[in-house]
Amino acid sequence: MTAPAFTLCPYRFSDDPPRMINFLTTLGLARTVSSRSESFAILSGRSGRIAVHSSADSAVGAEPGETRLCFETPDGDSARTYLTSLGLDATIVDEAYGRYLHVSDWHDLRVGLNEEMKDFYGYRRHDRPGRAPRVNVVGVWFHVDFAVPETVLRQLGYVPDPPAAAGWQTFRTAEPSGVVGLHTIGAESDPRRSGVGLSFETAEPPENLVERLHTDGHSDARLGSVRGTTIVLVTDPDGQRIEIHRAPR
Amino acid sequence: MLTGGARKQQFNVYLPPELVVRIKHLAVDEGRSLSAVVETALAEYLAKKKEGAE
């Protein structure tokens, strides 16, 4: 059975959602849905999405600046059928915004799985901008080893890119759905508390992006270097360090 | 939009779709989770029934 689409959509919990939303827009993402109060929005990249959620309204006790891994799928019933065919215990749960899937086998991993919103009552939909987003969303998943998260990613249809560096492995789907990068952390860390960070890939020249970030008030934006390639480094409004790498051709 | 906070028990019931939509929209209007609104509604109903029986 082929995996349905599971588009990467990490949740960033912010104590200032409008500033975080503006920052992501400056990076090149496009807002597609937002709440009336601006305490929640979904932004789309060329591949992958990000949800910005007020940390004050968080029902999960998330701290400001915390990111949690989540995916969106077009149809919850199809996703449940697929996950069940893999032997997983998946249940659909209703919430005010729509439905999500609880996969008991992944409970300790904190991997969210939402059905894409169908009822936009209380929310605003935004038109696609004239210019397509040039940014890929990268969810960086820190874990003590690759085995457990790789199993989950493969179940969601993500396959590894050719290896780039020790302790770092990116995964993508055939259709652009965002990028998940596994990053090893020390064995002394609690594997149940594995963390998630945000990163990006862009087709835009890094110098142009730094200039635009400076113009928008992100004065610490600068060029850096990782494994011989130029990247952009900047601190986001929630105080988290963000890396923007060149997108693969 | 991610759940998993305080420990709760899942409770599956069958309801008319129109009622599900109304209660979901109420939760959006009140800025509360669907579970919190249903919990309030059930608790208030039980309290009212108990009051009527006394």
Q: ipTM score of the complex? A: 0.79
Residue A68's pLDDT is what? Answer: 94
Residue A192's pLDDT is what? Answer: 47
Nearest-angstrom CA–CA distance, A194 and A179: 18
Nearest-angstrom CA–CA distance, A10 and A41: 12
Give yes or no for a contact between A176 and A47, defined as CB atoms under 8 angstroms apart. yes
Interface test with B, best of A93, A107, A108, A114 (most B CBs within 10 A): A93
Cα four-point dihedral sign A7, A135, A97, B18? negative
Nearest-angstrom CA–CA distance, A212 and A202: 14
**B window 8-37, beta carbon within 8 A of A:** 10, 20-21, 24-25, 27-29, 31-35, 37
Residue linked to tokens 């790789």: A150
- The residue that leads in pLDDT, A31 or B52, is A31
Strands A11-14 and A67-68: antiparallel
Q: What are the chain A neighbours of B11 within 8 Å (beta carbons)? A: none
- The residue that leads in pLDDT, A129 or A112, is A112
Average pLDDT over every residue of A148-163: 94
* pLDDT tens-digit map of A39-71: 999 999 999 999 999 998 777 778 899 999 999
Q: What are the chain A neighbours of B35 within 8 Å (beta carbons)? A: 95
Tell me which H or E stretch contains A137.
Answer: strand A135-143
Average pLDDT over every residue of A88-93: 94
Question: Do B28 and A122 make contact, defined as CB atoms within 8 angstroms?
Answer: yes
Q: What are the chain B neighbours of A11 within 8 Å (beta carbons)? A: 1-2
The full set of domains in chain A, from first to last, is 7-125 (3.10.180.10)
Of A27, A35, A49, A73, nearest in space to A233 by CA: A27
Residue A206's pLDDT is what? Answer: 95
Give yes or no for a contact between A76 and A62, defined as CB atoms under 8 angstroms apart. no
Chain A residue with Cα closest to B4 = A60
Residue B18's pLDDT is what? Answer: 96
Mean residue pLDDT across chain A: 91
The angle that helices A17-27 and A206-215 make with each other, rounded to 10 degrees, is: 150
Residue linked to tokens 């209007």: B29
Å between B9 CA and nearest CA of chain A:
12
Percentage of the residues of chain B whose pLDDT score is greater than 90: 63
Of A95, A66, A90, nearest in space to A79 by CA: A90
Give yes or no for a contact between A181 and A175, defined as CB atoms under 8 angstroms apart. no
Nearest-angstrom CA–CA distance, B27 and A56: 17
Å between A93 CA and nearest CA of chain B:
9
Chain B residue with Cα closest to A54 = B1
What number of other Cβ atoms are within 10 A of residue A182's Cβ?
22
Q: A135 in helix, strand or coil?
A: strand
